[in-house]
Amino acid sequence: MGRWATAVFAFQALVIAQAANSLIPPSESSLLYERIPPCRISTVQGDTIFVERLSAQQPVVLTFVFARCVGACSPMLASLAAATEWLEESSSPASVIVASFDSSDTPSSLSWMADAYRDRRRWIIGTVVEPERRSLLRTLQFNYMLSTSGPTLFDHPSVVYVIGQGKVVRVILGYVLTQKALKAAIEQARGELIPAYPLPDPRIPFRCVEYDPQSQTVEYGWGIVVLGSPLVIGSLICFIVVLLSSMHSSTHSETSYVRRPPDLSNPHACSGESQS
Amino acid sequence: MASTSISSLPLFARLWSALFVILFPVLGLLGVFMRLFQSEMLPDIEPSWFYAAMTLHGLGLVGLVYATSFALLITRLSQYVAFRPSMLYVSTGLTGIGVILLVVLFLVRFGPGWYFLYPLPFKSAGVWPEWAPHVFLVALTVLGVAWLLWKLETLRAMAKSFKFSTMLGWHVLAGKAEPSVPPAVLVATICCIAGIIALSAAVVMLVFFYYTLLTGNAADALLVKNLTFFFGHVLINLAMYQGIGVLYDVFPTYTRHQWPMTKPMAIAWNLVLLLVLFAYFHHLYMDFAQPVAVQIIGQAASYGTAIPAAVVTILGTLAHVYRRRVEWNWSSLLLFFGTMGWAVGGTAAVIDSTVAANFRFHNTLWVPAHFHTYLLAGIVLIILGGIAHFVSRAREYTLRPARLPISLLLIGAYGFVTMFYIGGLTSVPRRYAIYPIEVAHGSTLAQVALVFVALIMVGVAVYLWDVGRLLFLPSKRSS
Amino acid sequence: MQTQILAFIVWGTLALAVVGTYFFFLLSTRQPLEGEDYYRAVGKLRKPLLIAMLIVLSLTFGFTIGSLPYATSRDLPDRVIYVGVKQFSFLLSSQPLVSEVQMDTLGGELIEIPANSRVEFRVRSFDVNHGFGIFAPSGELVAQTQAMPGYVNRLIVTLPKEGTYSVLCLEYCGIAHHGMRASFNVFSPVTGSTQ
């Protein structure tokens, strides 16, 4: 059985590796706003979830793992759990789907994950129903191949897809995930986009807005303070000038253009008939 | 400090009036050149001359209108407060140096536009020489220093005669009638404070330009653009407000009715000070990196500035003349119709300051349409009216009603700007030397505009003959 | 109604009202009445005018502030087109533009967009400020954003009309500002044609 399984894995990995021609990780720029194909997840609890329907209603954080993984999956899940802990308290809906990319996995083989993360109400753990699994993996450019480190192990990227309104909005690579990045991505998936962003350039001093490309978030920079400075500087100058001249009032009357002091009680004073 | 004599101020006012009646037509002709160019009537001239003319036309007229309206306001203020003439002449002299440098830059086809959006002055695409931005920055610095000194001196002079709270009309807000403060002082105070803040923004902006010039490193384009319009928007608005100060002071001469400072007026101008500093955000609606909250504040502040203008000044002007025996002449008619241009142009400005409308109007001909309405048909008329008043009083000359030339001026000005409005309506971009096929009708609009320009020219020529000429006749000393 | 036409009608009506009012007041000086305090009478209009302006401006503000053109809280786009701008050309590409070199190396791409799909234009400049103005086949300016050096502006639009759209520069950028242009096609997803 073990040998057969190995042969199947080898064949499967070979096919996928050939199709992908390498382990090139998915790229966000080519996947941006890509619609995910219809697909179902069979969960550990025995339910069936329609991913594209769910993601049309609420943001979905999707990641792929396989049950026997001894490499990146476990730390990645731990990182994902930490980065999405706030979701448990959040009132707005969002789901985290942990799906197996491995066709030999069954919902029950993933039950250890469900046990490990049973306090996560928003997590959906399961396998993708065939043949939708293939089209989902192909669409999301998820390539994997048989590992050289073990007979039934795979080399695969650690990647988190954030899906909103049925479309991919973020592809976060790497198994270290931050709450900031996930939060921003889920907001984007809700359609709350940032209207513009600066391109990071450390040589530019006092920027109005700073941008973090990792989390795709913008923050106000010191430029805002610089922009406000004329208000302070100008007001201060006015204040000093007024203060100084009111201290020295009634001195320079000779240097006046006015021969006679202004008669402001005269109703025609403001019509100022003549200067000469 | 220069010795002071009674003739200094008339001389100062005369100097600026003379500069205006000479430079306004000359700089205006650069605009005519632009419309001719857009009409495809000058096929042999390079577009770089169009953009150089556009730059000098814009910078020159914004500067001229701003400085002359302030000079006239000072002329009126000098009845109530004592200025140090030396400061005024230093400012004027420095302004002259700045202007000469700008003319030199025009000759080398320096053309980054009147608001010289950073970093365009440094990226000439081979048109202007490498030294041009250096000279330009020197010119801007000189002008900035000149106008800052001018504003500081005015504030100082007023603060010597009046308490600061009185200058701002706060005692009127508190319900006190005394001391009686001329509205011109209130307006001048608001203009000085806003002006000094705006010129501080110009200084900060210049620091970034110098930073790039000296180090070759980039500054934040969004920050510099904000600073540019912080200063530029406030400056051009002050040009109008300073003219209104003159209006408050001069117009009653012809209506024989006082224009005292009232509670609504005091509220209005204090509000103006607050709003004018935040309305400039509407220049950056199409910069999506600007925080959305800021864009919304921009629309609110822009809408807000319309209220004091309409409720206090426009309605006040109308109330002044209603069924009254008004002495209609060159001065009073121009002042009266100047406020009309402000109202009509202001309406178009409010429309354009709506973010949703700006999305379709930003940098189309709608923009020059609205600002030419309140400049050409607004503040320019107020300045010409103010000059007419000043020169006729000084020379004991009775101005004629001049209905025909003023009609020509009005028909010309409104016809001229209507071509711009139609340009905005039909999506013609502003600042195009040559119109591409999509907006080819832009050149037809330019041709029609030229017909109206001819009417303006006739009106201005008659004004120059009737009024402008008097400025250059030998002085008549009665004292 | 097209925004431009609506705005022009509003402005034209108000402008005529202002001019009419001014001439009414001007002509009223032909029959002056001494002794009557008309100044005070006209002054009584101040409060109604203030209230009317407050109402009109607040309503306009309320109605228009909901339709901001910024990419916030909307439906997500269907596709993204990267726009690079420099003196004096545009480059529209389906590839992300990360360096100025691409402006020369990437050839002009024929951009085809299905009608009524949501398109995001990511606009950036490599030198000075430019404008990215989209003109419909009818010549009407339908959308725009600035191209500012150091920033990426996201302009999200839905273009319902089929045909060839032009892109013109809407921020003065130097000597050949008027000559900058690009175009793209919007086709009917049903018939597949641009006309």
Closest-CA distance of chain B to residue A60, Å = 27
Pairing of strands C141-147, C130-135: antiparallel
Is C188:B380 a contact under the CB 8 Å cutoff? no
Closest CA to B388 of B403, B377, B400: B400
| Span B200-213, average pLDDT | 97
Residue with tokens 């419909």, as numbered in its chain: C136
Neighbours of C, requiring at least 3 CB pairs below 8 Å, are A, B
Identify the DSSP state of B281.
G
Task: Give the C-alpha separation, B272 to B312, whole Å.
Answer: 11
Verify whether the Cβ–Cβ distance C71 to A33 is below 8 Å: no
Question: CB C150 to CB A198 under 8 A?
Answer: yes
Q: Which residue has the tokens 């009665």?
A: B478
* Whether B80 contacts chain A with CB within 8 A: yes
The sign one gets for the Cα dihedral B387, B393, B396, B400 is positive
For residues A172-184, give the mean pLDDT: 93
| ipTM of the complex in this document | 0.95
Query: CB–CB of B312/C58 below 8 Å?
Result: no
Mark out the alpha helices in B108-261 (DSSP H runs): 132-161, 164-167, 170-173, 183-215, 221-255
Please answer whether residues B379 and C23 qualify as being in contact, where contact means their C-beta atoms are separated by less than 8 angstroms: no
Distances (CA, A) of C60 to A116, B347, B396: 56, 13, 50
Over the stretch B52-63, which tens digit does the pLDDT of each residue have?
Answer: 999 999 999 999
Query: At B442, is the pLDDT very low, low, confident or very high (cuts 50, 70, 90)?
Result: very high
Looking at residue B253, what is its pLDDT? 93
For B211-254, how does the pLDDT look when each residue is reduced to its tens digit (9 = 90+)? 999 999 999 999 999 999 999 999 999 999 999 999 999 999 99
User: Which of C25, C71, C140 faces B322 most closely, judged by CB atoms?
Assistant: C25
Residues A191/A55, Cβ–Cβ less than 8 Å: no
**What is the pLDDT at residue B373?**
97
Residue B454 has pLDDT above 90, yes or no: yes
CB contact under 8 A, C67 and B356: yes
- Look at B128 and B256; give whichever has higher pLDDT: B128
In this prediction, residue A12 has a pLDDT band, given cuts at 50, 70 and 90, of: low
With contact defined as beta carbons under 8 Å apart, do B268 and B190 qualify?
A: no
For chain C, say whether B207 makes contact (Cβ under 8 Å): no
Task: Grade residue A3 by pLDDT with cuts at 50, 70 and 90.
Answer: low
pLDDT in tens, chain C (195 residues): 689 999 999 999 999 999 999 999 999 999 888 766 788 888 899 999 999 999 999 999 999 998 899 876 678 999 999 999 999 999 999 989 988 899 888 877 899 999 999 999 999 999 999 999 999 999 999 999 999 999 999 999 999 999 999 999 999 999 999 999 999 999 998 876 555
Report whether pLDDT(A99) > 60. Answer: yes
Token pair recorded at residue C46: 């101040």
Q: Alpha-carbon distance C4 to A54, whole Å?
A: 41
pLDDT of amino acid B472: 87
Helix (H, G, I), strand (E, B) or coil at B429: strand
What percentage of chain A's residues is helix, strand, coil (to nearest 5)? 40, 20, 40
Rg (chain B; Cα; Å): 22
Sheet holding C151-158, edge to edge: A196-198, C151-158, C118-125, C79-86, C89-93
pLDDT at B478 over 50: no
Q: Which of B196, B248, B330 is nearest to B240 (CA)?
A: B248
3-state secondary structure chain C: CCHHHHHHHHHHHHHHHHHHHHHHHHHHCCCCCCCCCHHHHHHCCHHHHHHHHHHHHHHHHHHHCCCCCCCCCCCCCCEEEEEEEECCEEEEECCCCCCCCHHHHCCCCCCEEECCCEEEEEEEECCCCEEEEEECCCCCEEEEEEECECEEEEEEEECCCCEEEEEECCCCCCCCHHHCEEEEEEECCCCCCCC
B200, pLDDT greater than 80: yes
Predicted confidence band of residue A146 (pLDDT cuts 50, 70, 90): confident
Closest Cβ–Cβ partner in A195, A201, A245 for B160: A245
Question: Would residue B430 be called left, alpha or beta, if left means φ above 0 and alpha means ψ between -120 and 50 degrees?
Answer: beta
| pLDDT exceeds 60 at position B479 | no
Q: Where are the domains of chain B?
A: 7-154, 327-473
Q: How many CB atoms lie within 10 A of CB B475?
A: 11
Q: Is C153 on the interface with B (CB under 8 A)?
A: yes
Query: What's the confidence (pLDDT) of residue A188?
Result: 93
* Chain A residues inside the 8 Å CB shell of C77: 33
Distances (CA, A) of A19 to A14, A15, A24, A154: 8, 6, 11, 16
* Distance between CA atoms of residues C155 and C68, nearest Å: 11
Please, which pLDDT band fits residue B475 given cuts at 50, 70 and 90?
low
Given CB atoms, is B165 within the 8 Å cutoff of chain A? no
Rounded-to-integer distance, Cα B75 and Cα B254, Å: 18
Please list every residue in chain A whose beta carbon sits closer than 8 Å to the beta carbon of residue C80. Answer: 32-33
- The terminus-to-terminus CA distance of chain B in angstroms comes to 24
Residue that is written with structure tokens 């009111």 in the block: A246
Domains along the sequence of chain A with CATH = 2-189 (3.40.30.10), 194-247 (no CATH)
Band of the pLDDT at B304, cuts 50, 70, 90? very high
Please report how many Cα atoms fall inside a 13 Å half-sphere around the Cα of residue C96, on the Cβ side.
8
Is residue B33 a contact partner of residue B53, using CB atoms and an 8 Å limit? yes
Residues facing A62 on adjacent strands: A97, A161
For residue A151, what pLDDT band results from cuts at 50, 70 and 90? confident
> If you search the block for the tokens 């990426």, which residue do you land on?
C152
| Average pLDDT score over chain B | 93
User: Looking at the complex, does the CB of residue C154 fall below 8 Å from at least one CB of chain A?
Assistant: yes
Q: Does A4 score more than 70 pLDDT?
A: no
CA gap B209, C34 in Å, rounded: 60
- Helix, strand, coil percent content, chain B, rounded in steps of 5: 75, 0, 25
Q: Is the pLDDT of residue A257 over 80?
A: no
Give mean pLDDT, residues B322-338: 95
CA angle B61, B365, B460 (to 5 degrees): 40
Q: Which of B299, B322, B355 sits opposite C42 (nearest CB)?
A: B322
**% of chain A surpassing 90 pLDDT:** 66
Per-residue pLDDT at A266: 36
Mean pLDDT score, B405-420:
98
* Residue A95, pLDDT above cutoff 70: yes
**Interchain contact, C151 vs A29, CB within 8 Å:** no
Asked if A193 reaches chain B (Cβ–Cβ under 8 Å), the answer is no
Of B123, B323, B343, the CB nearest to C36: B323
Q: Is B156 on the interface with A (CB under 8 A)?
A: yes
The pLDDT, as a whole number, for residue A129 is 94
Answer whether residue A103 shows pLDDT above 80.
yes
C156 has a chain A CB within 8 A of its CB: yes
SS3 category, A123: strand
| Phi, psi (degrees; rounded to nearest 5) at B59 | -60, -45
DSSP, collapsed to helix, strand or coil, labels residue A224 as helix
Q: What is the rounded CA–CA span in Å between residue A45 and residue A241?
A: 77
DSSP symbols for B149-179: HHHHHHHHHHHHHS-HHHHTTHHHHTT---S
Q: Could B111 and C175 be called an inter-chain contact, meaning their C-beta atoms sit closer than 8 Å?
A: yes
- For A199, the closest chain B residue by CA position comes to B220
Which residues of chain C neighbour A192 with C-beta distances below 8 Å? 72-73
Mean pLDDT, rounded, for B173-191: 92
Which has more confidence, C54 or B80?
Answer: C54
CB contact under 8 A, C151 and B287: yes
Give the ranges where B78-131 is alpha helix by DSSP (H): 85-107
Asked if A13 and A145 count as a contact pair (C-beta separation under 8 A), the reply is: yes
Neighbours of chain B (3+ CB pairs under 8 A): A, C
Please give the Cα distance from A274 to A151 (Å, whole number): 105
B123 CB near a chain C CB, below 8 Å?
yes
Residues in B 230-259 with any Cβ partner in C closer than 8 A: 257
- A160: number of Cβ within 10 Å: 24
Q: Could B1 and A274 be called an inter-chain contact, meaning their C-beta atoms sit closer than 8 Å? A: no
What would the two tokens of residue B301 be?
């502040």
Q: Does A254 sit within 8 Å of B4, measured CB to CB?
A: yes
Cα separation, A139 vs A35, in Å, equals 8
Position C7 scores a pLDDT of 97
The secondary structure of residue A128, as a DSSP letter, is: E
Report the pLDDT value the prediction gives residue B5, as an integer from 0 to 100: 36
